[in-house]
Amino acid sequence: MILSNLIRFLKNFWFTLCMLALMALSFTIYVRSEKQLDRVNERRFKSHALASELRQSSDDLTRMARTYVTTGDTLYKDFYFRILAIRDGRQARPMGYQETYWDLASSKSESINPSGQNTKGEALLDLLRLTGISNEEFVKLVEAKASSDSLALLEKQAMKLYESVGSQQLPQGERPIDLLTNKSYHQAKASIMKPIAEFHQMMENRTLKEVANAEYVALQMRYVFIIVCLSVIILLWRAYQGLHQTLGASIGQIKMHLDRLGQADFREQIEVDSGKEKSVLGLLAIAQQALSQLAKRRAEVERRNLRLTQFYNVLSQCDQAIVRSHTEQELFVQICRNILQYDGIKLAWICVADTDKNVLLPVALDGLGVEHFRSQSFSLAAEVLERPLCVRAFLDAHVHWSNDTPLTDTNLFPSAAAIPLFKNGMVYGVINLYADQNNGFDEEIRILLLELAMDLSFALNRFELEIGRQRSRKIESLRTFLLEHVNNVISLDQLFHAVVLELEALLPGSTCSILTLDPDNLHVHSGAMPSLPEFYSRAIDGLAIGEGVGSCGHAMFSGLRTVVEDIAHHPYWKDFKVIAEQANLAACWSEPIRSANNHILGAFAIYHPVPSRPEPWHLILLEMAAHFLAIAIDKHRTEGNLRKLSQAVEQSPNIIIITDTDAKIEYVNQAFVEKTGKTFAQVIGQRPSILQSGNTPLFTYEEVWDRLRRGESWQGELINRYKDGREYIELAHISPIRDASGAITNFLSLQEDITEKKRTEERIQYLAHYDVLTGLPNRVLLEEQAQLALKTAKRKGTSLSLVFFDLDHFKNINDSLGHSIGDALLVELARRLREVLREEDVVSRLGGDEFILLLSGVDELGAERVAEKLLKTVSQSYHLGQYDLNISASIGIAVYPEDGDDLETLLRNADTAMYRAKQDGRSIYRFFTPEMQARSGRHMELVNALRYALDREQLHVVYQPQISLNSGRVIGTEALLRWTHPELGTVSPAEFIPVAEETGLILSIGEWVLRTAAIQTQAWHEHGWTDLSVAVNLSAIQFRHTDLPGTVSQILRESHLDAPFLELELTEGVAMIDPLGAIAVMNDLHDRGVRMSIDDFGTGYSSLSYLKKFKVSKLKIDQSFVRDIHSDPEDKAIVSAVISMAKSLGLQTIAEGVETAEQLLFLREQFCDEVQGYHFARPLTASQFEQFMNDWQT
C-alpha cells in the first residue's frame, strides 16, 4: 500500500514541477511590467517635486529678503545666499530639502547641510533633466528659473539699500521693503509661477499616458499568472494527498516526531488516525512506544542513582559538620546549608523547644521562604487544635511525612518532613524539610533522613556531655578555690575580692558582686564589686532592702533566690533601670547568703550585659559561692563573737559568778568587784552566800539547790547587800555548765539588779488601771469593777445605773487656749467628781473628754439626781491661771437591768442616750428610751423576715444593661437583688444586705443569686444573644468562704453557662482586708475561667502593688464620682485618673450611675470602655430586659 501511494505521488510530482516552471516565467514577465509602471510613476512624482522646489525656493528667497530688510538679522541674509547656492549647484543640498528653506531660517539653524549628506552640489535644473522630461517641458522650467534669477537681482539690490541707509531714512515707496512689495515686484513674481504651472500641466498629460500603457500590460500578465497559480495549487493538492496518505501525517509532523525520537523526547505520544496504522506515522508510533519504555526504565535508574549519590554526598558533608562543629548552633546552621545541596529539598530549618514559653523556636534556617518561619513560634499548648507538622512530630516523638500537601499562599511546597531530634532520650527539637515535588520523600530518602537525624541526636548528646564535663570542671575548680581561701587566715574583704574575680574568670562576660547587710539588717553594704563602675557601687551602698528592691535587695528581704532575666522590663528594677543601663547590666541572678542559723548575711550576684536566663549549673555556682561565703562570714563572726563574749562577760554591768560543783567561787567579773567592794583574790574559794542580806526566804535557797542537783536551771529573785550597806533586789539566773560528755563541771550565776525595774513595774501597774492625767480609773479598771458591781446587782436584785457624759465644745478650749489649759480643766473636773460622788461610786475617764460613772444600787430616780448634780458641778466656773472658763456636759443614762445586763450593752445604750442629749441642745441628760430601741427592733424584724424570704420566693433578681462605648452594643448585665415583703413592702438592699451579712444568710442568698443569674444568662444565649455576660456582686462573707470557687464551678456546670460569661464583682475594701488571701481566691477563680472585677473603685484604699497582682479584668468606677462629673473638677480628675491607670494596667473600665448625656459624653472622651445607668435603663426584670434588647437592636 505504501509503494503504490509512492508511485502515484512521484507522477504528480513531475507534472507539478513543469507547471511551477511555467508559473515562474509568467511571474517574471508580470513583475517586470509592474516595475515599469513604478518607474513611470516615480519619474512623474519626482518631476512634480523638483518643479515645486523651484517655486518654493523663489518664495523662500522672497521671505528671507523681506525679513532681512525688516529685522536686520544677518541670519536671514545668510540663508538667502545659501538657498541660491544650493539651487544653482554651488553648495551641497541636504536630503529632503524641498520643504526646509523657511523652516531652517525660522529655527535659526546654524547649518542646512547636516553631517552625513552629499558634499557635492547639483543644480536644480540638472536634477529635473535627469527625470526624463521633454524639451518643451524643460524650456518652461528654464524660463521660470531665468525670471527667478532676475527677481533675485532686485532682492539683492533691496538688501544692499537696507545695509547702506536703513529702513527709516527714506520716504514711503523708496524703502527697501517697498522694493519687495510693490506692484512690479509682484508682476515679476507672477512671471516665475506661470511657466512652472504650465510645466506641471504638460508633464501630467504625458506621464498619464505612459502610466496607462504600463498598467494595461501588467493587467494582462496578472491574469496569466493567476491561471497558472491555480493549476499549480490543484497539482500540489493532489501531490499532498498522495504524500499524506503515505506518511500518515504532514511532513512537518513526521519531522517533528523524528526529531523527538532522535532527542529521546517521549513526553507526547504519537497519535495515529484509524486506517493509517501502516503508514510511516504508524511505524513511528510503534517505534516511539518501544523507545519510550526503554528510556523510562533507563531514566528511572539514572535518577535513582543520581539522587542517592547526591544525598550520600549531603550525608557525608553533614557527618563532617557533626565532627567539626563545636556548638549546637554552628552544627544546625551547617546542616541546613548542606541539606539544601540536594536538589529535591528547597527549604530546611531546625527548631528547638523553649520549655518556659512552651513553644518551638526556629534556630537555623536556609532555603526558599525562610522569612515566613524566621520570626514565628509554634505553640505546644494542648488547646491548639490545628497543629503544624513540627509540633506534631515534637509531641508524638516520631517522624511525620507529608508528600501531597495542597499548595496555598503560606504553604509553598507539596512535600514536607518533620523529624524529631533527641537529646538524652528526650525530644529536643525538630528538623523540618520541604521539597518542591509531590512524593518528594520516598522510602530510600526517608531511611537516609532518619539516619541523619540519629547522627544529629548523637552529636547533641556529645555536645551535652562535653558541656557537662566542662561545667563539672568549673564547679570543682570553684569548690577547691573556696575551700582553700575560706580556711586561709585572710580578711573578709580579701576573700570577697578573690571570690568575685574567680567567678568572673569562670563565667566570661559576666560581672559579680558581693553585698552584705549592715548590723541593722535593713541596709546594704558593698562587700566586693571590683568590675562594676564606681558610680554603681556608690549608688547602691546604703540602700534599704525590701520586697521588689532590685534583685539583691529582694533576695535579702525575702531570703529567696531572685533571678531577673531582663532588668529593663522587670518591676524589681523599675527604680534602678537608668543606673543599670549606664553600668551595662541587663540581667541579674542573686542568691542570699544565709548563715548556719538561717539568718540573712548578704547576697551574691552575677550580672550579664544582655538579658540572660541561668542554666542549672549557673545556679550551682551561685549557690556554692553563697554557701561558702556564709561559712566564711560565720567563721569570721564566730571568732569575733568569742572575743566579744570574753569582753562582754568582763565588761557586763551585771554580776557574773562561776563556781565549782561545791559552790566555791572560781571566777567573778569586774561588775562583781565594783558592786561588792571585794577583789577577785578575796572571793576566790569563797561561796556566794557572802552577799546574802538575810531577807531572802530560806525556801528560795532550798529550791535553788533542789533544781541544780537535778541538773536544771533556776531563775528567781534574791535580796542581797553590797558594800554601801543597801539592799538590792536581783534577778538571778543560775544554771549548770556541762562538759562534752554532759557531766556538770561548774555553775554559772547571772545576777541583774532589778531594784529600779521593780519600782517601774509598780508604776506600770498603776498606769494600766488609772488615767495618767486625772488619776481616775481607766477602761480596764472600769471593766473589772463593773463585773463585780453587776454580779452584786444580780445577786441582790438591785439596780445599777451607768452615766456616760461628754463635755460640750471641749475641743474649742484645746484649739483656742492650748492643750495645757484643757488638761488642767480635766484635772479640776476629776477632783470635783471625786468630791461630789459617794465612795462606792466609780468614776472613770475613757479618754478625751468622755467620763463614765458606775452607780451601784442607784435606780432611775437616783441617777436623775446624780445627773443634775453633775450638770451643776460641771457648769461651775473654772479658774485656771489667767482664764475663767465655763463649760457644760451632755449626759446619757442607762439603767440595769432594763437597758442591758452587761457593761458593753449599758455603755452602748448610754452612749446613744448621750448623743440624743447633744442633739436636743446639750447641757442636759437623757435616759435610754424604747424609741431609741426602735431601730434595734427594726433590725431584729428584718433578721427574722429575711430568714424565710428565700423559701417564700420574696426575693427576685433584676438586670441592668451594660453598654460598650466602643461598639454601642449591649455586652452584658449586672444582676441586682430585690426584696419585696408582704408586710414590710419593698426593702432597700442598703438595709437588708448588711443584715444578711451579719446573720450569715448572705451565703445561701448569694448562691441563689449566682445560680439564677447564670441560668437566665444561658437562656438568653440560647435565644441568640450569645455575647451577653452577667456580673454578680460578692459580699465579704461570700468571698472569704472557702468553698466559693467550688460553688461557682458547680453553678456553671448546672446552668451550662461558659465561665467567661460570668463576672464576679468585689469591692476594693473587701479585697484589701486580706490581700494575699484575695490573690489566692482570685487566682483559683481565674484558673476556672471566671472573670473578676473591682466594684466601687476609688472609694476604698487599694494598694496598687496588690492591685496589679489581682487577677481582675475590669474596674468599676463608683457612681459617687460619676454623679457630679459634669460640675465637680475633683470628680473629673478622679475618673480620668482611674481610667488612665486601668489602661496602663491592661484593665477595662465601666462607669455605673450614668444618668445624663453630659456624663456619657465625658466618659466617652476619656475612653471609658463600658457604662450602665438610668440614662439607658433602670434595673429590669428578665422579661423587661428581653423587650429592651429587642428595642435596642431595632
Q: Tell whether the model's pLDDT for residue 109 goes beyond 60.
A: no
Asked whether this chain's domains 488-645 and 770-928 adopt the same fold, the reply is no
Query: What gap in Å lies between CA 258 and CA 550, rounded to an integer?
Result: 86
Which SS3 state, helix, strand or coil, does residue 858 take? coil
Q: What is the pLDDT of residue 88?
A: 82
Q: Tell whether the model's pLDDT for residue 311 goes beyond 80.
A: no
Q: What is the pLDDT of residue 1103?
A: 55
Instruction: Return the domain boundaries, the chain.
Output: 31-223, 325-468, 488-645, 652-755, 770-928, 939-1193
Amino acid at 643: R
Q: What is the pLDDT of residue 489?
A: 59
Q: Tell whether the model's pLDDT for residue 678 goes beyond 90.
A: no
Query: What gap in Å lies between CA 621 and CA 504, rounded to an integer?
Result: 11
Residues across the chain: 1194
pLDDT band, residue 114 (cuts 50/70/90): very low
Task: Look up cell 484593665; give the residue.
Answer: 1147
Percent of the chain with pLDDT over 90: 27
Q: What is the mean pLDDT of residues 189-198?
A: 84
pLDDT band, residue 1105 (cuts 50/70/90): low
Spell out the CATH class of 770-928. Answer: alpha beta
Q: Tell whether the model's pLDDT for residue 736 goes beyond 70.
A: yes
Q: What is the mean pLDDT of residues 196-200?
A: 82
Lowest mean pLDDT among 481-485, 622-626, 804-808, 859-863: 481-485
Closest CA to 1005 of 1018, 987, 1017, 1022: 987
Lowest mean pLDDT among 24-33, 97-106, 1003-1012, 1152-1161: 97-106
pLDDT digits (tens, 9 = 90+) for 325-362: 778 888 888 888 888 887 778 889 999 998 878 889 99
Q: What is the CATH number of domain 939-1193?
A: 3.20.20.450
Q: Which residue has the higher pLDDT, 196 or 1159?
A: 1159
* CATH 3.30.450.40 corresponds to the domain 488-645: yes
pLDDT band, residue 1061 (cuts 50/70/90): very high
pLDDT band, residue 117 (cuts 50/70/90): very low
- Contact, 669 vs 655, CB < 8 A? yes
* CATH 3.60.21.10 corresponds to the domain 652-755: no
Measure CA 890 to chain center. Answer: 64
Enter the pTM of the model: 0.35
- Contact, 1165 vs 1140, CB < 8 A? no
Q: Tell whether the model's pLDDT for residue 1002 goes beyond 70.
A: yes
Q: Tell whether the model's pLDDT for residue 307 goes beyond 90.
A: no
DSSP sequence for 903-963: HHHHHHHHHHHHHHHHHTTSS-EEE--HHHHHHHHHHHHHHHHHHHHTTTT-EEEEEEEEE
pLDDT digits (tens, 9 = 90+) for 372-410: 887 788 888 866 667 888 888 898 888 988 887 777 766
Q: What is the pLDDT of residue 552?
A: 92
Query: What gap in Å lies between CA 717 and CA 730, rounded to an integer?
Result: 6
Q: What is the mean pLDDT of residues 612-640?
A: 85
Strand 587-594: give its sheet, edge to edge.
524-528, 511-517, 600-608, 587-594, 562-564
Q: What is the CATH number of domain 325-468?
A: 3.30.450.40
- Contact, 1188 vs 979, CB < 8 A? no
Q: What is the mean pLDDT of residues 703-731?
A: 85
Amino acid at 99: E
pLDDT digits (tens, 9 = 90+) for 794-807: 988 899 999 999 99
Lowest mean pLDDT among 113-117, 291-295, 787-791: 113-117
Query: What gap in Å lies between CA 669 and CA 121, rounded to an integer?
Result: 145
Q: Which three cell numbers stand for residue 479?
A: 569548690
Percent of the chain with pLDDT over 70: 91
Q: Tell whether the model's pLDDT for residue 2 goes beyond 60.
A: no
Query: What gap in Å lies between CA 1122 and CA 317, rounded to an integer?
Result: 74
Q: What is the pLDDT of residue 107?
A: 54
Q: What is the pLDDT of residue 469?
A: 83
Q: What is the pLDDT of residue 1017?
A: 96
Q: What is the pLDDT of residue 384?
A: 62
Query: What gap in Å lies between CA 151 and CA 146, rounded to an integer?
Result: 9
Query: What gap in Å lies between CA 85 and CA 91, rounded to an integer?
Result: 5
Q: What is the mean pLDDT of residues 255-277?
A: 72
Q: Which residues of 147-182 are buried (b: 16+ CB within 10 A; e: fewer)?
A: bbeebbeebbebbebbeeeeeeeeeeeebbbbbbee
Query: What gap in Å lies between CA 720 and CA 11, rounded to an integer?
Result: 163
Q: What is the pLDDT of residue 275?
A: 67
**Average pLDDT value for the chain:** 84
Q: What is the mean pLDDT of residues 914-930?
A: 84
Q: In Å, what is the CA distance from 1104 to each residue of 551, 1099, 1101? A: 21, 14, 9
Q: Which residue has the higher pLDDT, 168 or 902?
A: 902
Q: In Å, what is the CA distance from 306 to each residue of 296, 302, 341, 344, 831? A: 15, 6, 13, 11, 120
pLDDT digits (tens, 9 = 90+) for 42-62: 777 887 787 788 888 888 888
Q: For the chain, how long is the longest CA-to-CA vector?
A: 183
pLDDT digits (tens, 9 = 90+) for 807-819: 988 888 887 888 8
Q: What is the pLDDT of residue 174?
A: 77
